[in-house]
A and B are shown apart, each in its own frame.
Chain A
Amino acid sequence: MGKEEDYIKNRYGTESPFVAPDGYFESFTDHMMEMLPEKETPIVKINTRWTRIKPLLYMAAMFITLFLPIRYLVTSTKTDNTMTQTAASIKELSDEDIYYLSLNLDEYTFYEYVTDSDSNE
């Protein structure tokens, strides 16, 4: 480093030209300590068996609460689909099909079919 640094040091010295007001440093510590807030006593959480089990119970309760309605919704939708399928298949039967069906069905059952397909039209 040498020459360049020496140039500055020889001309300007290394003493700081910045000064503080009289008595500033002497009174700073006392003033500073008065400004410091009191430290709060930390609250210690006691870890009992109950506090360890609680989260697991909450998770189980959440699972049950969500699972049961979803299961209900899924099973009730399936039944609706089955009934919709039966009505649709009857609607597709032509008059000829109905005639041939009638040959294999007793009178009561035959009329039941026809009545249902009419009401669906």
Chain B
Amino acid sequence: MVNYNEAIIIEQLRNKATQREAFSQIVNHYTKQLYQQVRHLVLDHDQTNDILQNTFIKAWLNIDYFRGDAKLSTWLYKIALNESLTFLKKENRTTSLDEGDGQYLTQLKSDSYFSGDQAQIQLQKAIHQLPSKQRIVFNLKYYQEMKYEAMSEITGTTVGALKASYHHAVLKIKKHLESLN
């Protein structure tokens, strides 16, 4: 397994002879975390796979414009989340639970790529009652423990606004879960 060194990778990206190999290391390094973020938003594995592929294709086509002043992770997350939001908008799944996400959530129980129990399904339903952008903030903080500063670079929102958004998201989810119990 090759050790991932971002400074070296960025240098190699600038050289046409090593660019492709450098990009394959990027794909290898970031696939899992990007997969999780996208999957938490769109729920379905096949749709996640499509979005992930589109993300890396877009990144490849624009790799020459990556200046290196932001982290590669920030740049990739931005592309992945934009692709996810575009997909959800197209499927009319950006707002409340009832508009399209409902069928995916009820299918979770029979989804072979969902390892959670009934409690987990309830949590996912509670998360999916949030607007899509608030859902992104919650997932990045709760599941990936991302720092607000990094989240701010990805979403273009201030740290203060992100903290408020997460706080409200947690309150809404807790209230929803308590009402079920």
Task: Please judge, given known A-B contacts A19-B115, A39-B19, whether A8 and B40 are in contact too, CB under 8 Å.
Answer: no
State how many angstroms separate the Cβ of B84 from the closest Cβ of chain A.
14
Instruction: Check if A36 sits within 8 Å of B120, measured CB to CB.
Output: no
Per a CB cutoff under 8 Å, which of B49, B57, B116 touches A17? B116
A32 interface residue (CB < 8 Å to B)? yes
Instruction: Check if A8 sits within 8 Å of B60, measured CB to CB.
Output: no
B35 interface residue (CB < 8 Å to A)? yes
B23 interface residue (CB < 8 Å to A)? yes
State how many angstroms separate the Cβ of B59 from the closest Cβ of chain A.
10
B89 interface residue (CB < 8 Å to A)? no
A14 interface residue (CB < 8 Å to B)? yes
B119 interface residue (CB < 8 Å to A)? yes
A83 interface residue (CB < 8 Å to B)? no
State how many angstroms separate the Cβ of A30 from the closest Cβ of chain B.
8
Instruction: Check if A32 sits within 8 Å of B53, measured CB to CB.
Output: yes
Per a CB cutoff under 8 Å, which of B120, B145, B174 touches A4? B174
Instruction: Check if A11 sits within 8 Å of B119, measured CB to CB.
Output: yes
Task: Please judge, given known A-B contacts A11-B177, A17-B114, whether A1 and B123 are in contact too, CB under 8 Å.
Answer: no
Per a CB cutoff under 8 Å, which of A1, A11, A17, A25 touches B170? A1
Task: Please judge, given known A-B contacts A20-B45, A21-B113, A36-B60, whether A4 and B177 are in contact too, CB under 8 Å.
Answer: no
Per a CB cutoff under 8 Å, which of B24, B45, B49, B115 touches A29? B24
Instruction: Check if B119 sits within 8 Å of A12, measured CB to CB.
Output: yes
A interface vs B, CB < 8 Å?
Answer: 1, 4-5, 7-9, 11-12, 14, 16-21, 24-25, 28-29, 32-33, 35-37, 39
B interface vs A, CB < 8 Å?
Answer: 16, 19-20, 23-24, 27-28, 31-32, 35-36, 39-40, 43, 45, 49, 52-53, 56-57, 60-61, 64, 113-116, 119-120, 123-124, 142-143, 145, 166-167, 170-171, 173-174, 177
Besides A25-B31, A33-B27, 8 other A-B contacts (C-beta < 8 A)? A12-B119, A17-B116, A18-B43, A29-B24, A29-B31, A32-B31, A33-B24, A39-B19
10 sample A-B contacts, Cβ–Cβ < 8 Å, listed by A number: A5-B170, A8-B174, A14-B143, A17-B114, A17-B120, A18-B36, A18-B39, A18-B115, A36-B23, A37-B60
